[in-house]
Amino acid sequence: MLSILKFGAPELKKPSAPVEEFNGQLRHLVDEMVETMYAARGIGLAAPQVGVNLRLVIVDISRGREPEQLMVIANPEIVSTEGQQSEEEGCLSLPDFSGSVPRPWRVRVRGLNPRGDEFYVEGEGLLARAFCHEIDHVNGTLFIDRLSGLKRDLIKRKIRKLISAGRW
């Protein structure tokens, strides 16, 4: 299992490099990411969250209960959006923190599967939110970057206290 980087790690703020090699090493990384995401009880994970600078995300809003829902997307790109939603959002890199983030209600994403084949996928509601959240990660953006200044500062202040106490 991989370690999930927490807020403050410089790797989380760096835009990721495109996936260019679709081989056994990539499949191994995907397997480790899936195991890590499920163990952490997440619905999505991006490679930068485990210290790998690649445009690679996994999403499963069923949390493993429906294996066919697991999506692996290399080089994901949002190609269209529709509507708007604003719900509480959390992040495995910011455990125990959440905030209301505006996101599109529906998104269409283009990406490559682990074999390098291009595909499109659409999602709405929670799935659209998960796609946007994970794609933000590969672009070096965290959900708190999308919060109001006051809410973002409050979370950062709490994290600084946790760091000072040696609990972050």
pLDDT tens figures, 105-153: 999 999 999 999 999 999 999 999 999 999 999 999 999 999 999 999 9
Q: How far apart, in whole angstroms, are the C-alpha atoms of residue 28 and residue 5?
A: 19
State the chain's maximal CA–CA distance in angstroms: 47
pLDDT of residue 112: 98
Task: Summarize pLDDT for 44-76 with one digit per residue, the tens.
Answer: 999 999 999 999 999 999 999 999 999 999 999
Nearest alpha-carbon partner for 83 in 108, 103, 61, 110: 103
Q: How far apart, in whole angstroms, are the C-alpha atoms of residue 53 and residue 159?
A: 24
Mean pLDDT of the chain: 97
Entry pTM: 0.96
Contact 11, 5 (CB under 8 A): yes
Cite the active site residues. 134
User: Which region, left, alpha or beta, applies to residue 4 given φ > 0 means left and ψ of -120 to 50 means alpha?
Assistant: beta
Residue 52, φ and ψ in degrees, nearest 5: -110, 120
pLDDT of residue 38: 97
Contact 49, 13 (CB under 8 A): no
Q: Which residue has the tokens 């499920």?
A: 38
pLDDT of residue 109: 98
Write down all domains in the chain, each with its CATH number in brackets: 10-164 (3.90.45.10)
